[in-house]
Copies of this chain bind each other. A is one copy, B any other.
């Protein structure tokens, strides 16, 4: 299979849906997370800033929840691209989070680049269940699962009004 698409998934979102605080390329104040397909996994790397602290020395859990949320939506979109088998880069579908579960196994040290890995566990046309982990220095500190749904038509309509 190799790596398809080679761009960050978030860079394939339509312009109208690329302002997300977590991963939008047009949100100058946001995290601008970038997630890449790697075989049957999707991988992102992120360096928290010193402000992203919880208690001294450790990363804020809310940031971790934010990163895995955006990463999981990108993972769902990547699965659709891979299933379609399109080998030229196209627009990625936009998923939204229906549910997010994050298990904080141990404190995540700050000042270390984090590696987020995910894969699709269950897939239907409109819904994906994505499992993920976050590791620091090769040690997994967070695991969890997200339920991603294709953006509902009602929401798209709201966006056009």
A residues with a Cβ closer than 8 A to B are 16-17, 19-22, 24, 27, 29-30, 51-58, 60-63, 65-67, 69-70, 94, 96-104, 107, 151, 155, 158-159
Oligomeric state, in copies: 2
- For A19, the chain B residues whose CB sits under 8 A away are 53, 55-56
Contact of A101 among B16, B100, B107 (CB under 8 A): B100
Interface contact A60-B21, CB-CB below 8 Å: yes
Q: Give me 7 A-to-B residue pairs in the complex whose CB atoms sit less than 8 angstroms apart, sorted by A's number.
A: A17-B56, A20-B55, A21-B63, A55-B94, A55-B151, A61-B100, A101-B101
* B residues less than 8 Å from A151 (CB atoms): 55
Q: Which residue of B lies closest to A94 (CB)?
A: B55
A155 to B30, CA, bound (A): 29
Q: CA of A55 to CA of B21 in the docked complex: distance in angstroms?
A: 9
B99 touches A55 (CB 8 A): no
**Bound-complex Cα distance A29 to B63 (A):** 13
Q: What is the bound-complex CA distance between A56 and B19, given in angstroms?
A: 7
